[in-house]
Amino acid sequence: MRALTALLVGPTVTLAAAIAPRWYPAPEGPWTAGVWRVPATDDVFFLGEAINASGGKFYVNKNTSSYCPGNVENLDCSAYPGSRTIFTGGNNTVFLDVGVPGGQQANAKRIVYIAEDGSLSYTIPHSGAIPDGAVATGFDRVISESFGAPVVLGHSGQFWLMCPVSEGEPRERTYQIYVGKGTENCLNTGVRTYTATGPDAWEYM
């Protein structure tokens, strides 16, 4: 899978593009993201299991954490179930798609970034602040011409990692998503994205 990841999102892409177009930028969304792992040396497969937002970070095998305030006039929270994690963007920058007014303004957007420790993260509501050492640019989302035209999320050719944060069977435990570097016993993975409808959540938390 390391070789495959490098082929899809690594420097090889740049080289291939110079020879013949082998991939195309994808529309800006909305979309969901899932881990794609078809390993050669073990049997821990993941075929698009959702990457969900919770507490400022992203996980697999964990529910999305969202809210909708019950006390806002004319706000129908039934329109915002908030169980799905919906993204937008993918051309250099990535955001979470939220229903809250001003969600598309700079200081209200949930900006997705890579923290200094490699953890994929998002900004808290009403703050566009990115911590020191974090990187919020350099994402790419491209339609690959290979293997059924998956839409692949990348970041500057770096490896994506699933790092376990719970005990359990390899397919069932909870993993946190990291880019470039992770914690211990991480699995390398690809990330694919899927066209979705959004927003699904009023706010992620």
Ligand X SMILES: *[C@@H]1O[C@H](CO)[C@@H](O)[C@H](O)[C@H]1NC(C)=O
Site for ligand X, rule CB under 6 A = 25, 32, 50, 52, 61-64, 83-85, 91
Q: 10 Å Cβ neighbour count for 176? A: 23
Positive or negative torsion for Cα 43, 47, 53, 57? positive
Q: Minimum Å distance from CB 132 to ligand X?
A: 26
Measure the CA–CA gap between 7 and 64, rounded to whole angstroms.
Answer: 31
- Among residues 12 and 91, whose Cβ is nearest to ligand X? 91
- Among residues 85 and 144, whose Cβ is nearest to ligand X? 85
- Among residues 50 and 112, whose Cβ is nearest to ligand X? 50
φ and ψ of 169, to 5 deg: -65, 145
Amino acid at residue number 11: P
Q: Minimum Å distance from CB 74 to ligand X?
A: 25
Amino acid at residue number 59: Y
Q: Minimum Å distance from CB 190 to ligand X?
A: 18
φ and ψ of 178, to 5 deg: -125, 160
27 contacts 167 by C-beta, under 8 angstroms: no
- Among residues 85 and 123, whose Cβ is nearest to ligand X? 85
Q: Minimum Å distance from CB 50 to ligand X?
A: 3
Q: Minimum Å distance from CB 44 to ligand X?
A: 17
If we measure between CA atoms, which residue out of 124, 117, 114 comes closest to residue 93?
114
- Among residues 61 and 123, whose Cβ is nearest to ligand X? 61
Rounded to 10 degrees, the C-alpha dihedral 165/160/59/122 comes to 120
- Calculate the CA 90 to chain-centre distance: 9
Give residue number: closest CB to ligand X. Answer: 84
- Among residues 146 and 197, whose Cβ is nearest to ligand X? 197
Q: Minimum Å distance from CB 3 to ligand X?
A: 27
